[in-house]
Amino acid sequence: MLIRRFGAWPAWAFMALFFALPLASLVPEAFADGGGAFRRLFKDAGFLNALRNTLTLGLMAGGLSAIVGTCIAIELARQPAHRRQWMMSLLGLPLAFSGLVIAYGFILAYGRAGLVTQLLAKLGADPAFVGSGVYSVWGLGFAYAYYLIPRVALLLYPVFANFDNRSQLAARTLGASRARAFIDTVVPEILPSVLSAACLVAALAMGTYGTALALVGAQLNILPLMLLAQVSDGSDDFPKAAVLSLVLTALCSIVLAAGDVLASLRNRKNNEH
């Protein structure tokens, strides 16, 4: 009874201390000069470039992670229990690494003097061109996918483990091919879950900066690094930094809200069935 009545209090306290109060403190700071910080930020050409790169990064990292993570989740659900256990343990390893370790590993593997780059150079590729890719928005999205793919796989594994396969078998019995049965019966059931997971990891990709700072530094303009530069380089334009914080928070919140809507649609469909 006590847990039912008071069990949510720690969660509400955590949200108040580490989300609501910091966010509330940003709002008056953003309007401290009468809204001029909004005009300065939106007229900044660097902001538009950072916004475009951030959206591209979220789309690329989220999409790649959702596709590969879904395939891994399907394979996990097919494995026997003893094999699934060690596979899930291996999946959890990338989640334990810091952004600095991940960035350094990708530089050693795919940088201008990296192992993969040198191997491709022996096959005739231009090492300067190949090695520069890891420092682009696409290379950063590829690095992010290293630890976002396991998140998607672990999120979606219960969906496939508990999936009722009878509708697919019925479609096969009625003459549908394996691919047609999968598209008509499985895809509509799992698509909301996959898109919801994609939204979650896309928001993570758009809001984090540790791996980006270590991997690309100032070579790539994205909103988290722009905000970091705004607050760490001795800038005294605190209203502009507050506005940038609100924009990044709103962007990630919109993507997360889209994922919640998709998840609610999935739950509503399951309840109807």
- What pLDDT score does 90 carry? 87
Residue 8 lies in a domain: no
Residue 130 lies in a domain: yes
Residue 114 lies in a domain: yes
Model's pTM, two decimal places?
A: 0.86
Host domain of residue 119: 37-272
Instruction: Give the mean model confidence (pLDDT) for residues 17-45.
Output: 87
Residue 267 lies in a domain: yes
Q: What is the CATH number for 264?
A: 1.10.3720.10
Q: Mind giving me the DSSP string for 201-257?
A: HHHHHHH--HHHHHHTGGGS--HHHHHHHHHHS----HHHHHHHHHHHHHHHHHHHH
Instruction: Give the mean model confidence (pLDDT) for residues 68-97.
Output: 89
What is the percentage of the chain residues whose pLDDT exceeds 70?
93
What is the chain's mean pLDDT, rounded?
86
pLDDT category of residue 170 using cuts at 50, 70 and 90: confident
Number of structural domains (the chain) is 1
- B/e letters for 22-46, b = 16+ CB within 10 Å, e = fewer, are eeeebeebbeeeeeebbeebeeeee
Residue 24 lies in a domain: no
pLDDT tens digits along 187-230: 888 888 899 999 999 999 999 888 898 888 878 899 999 988 88
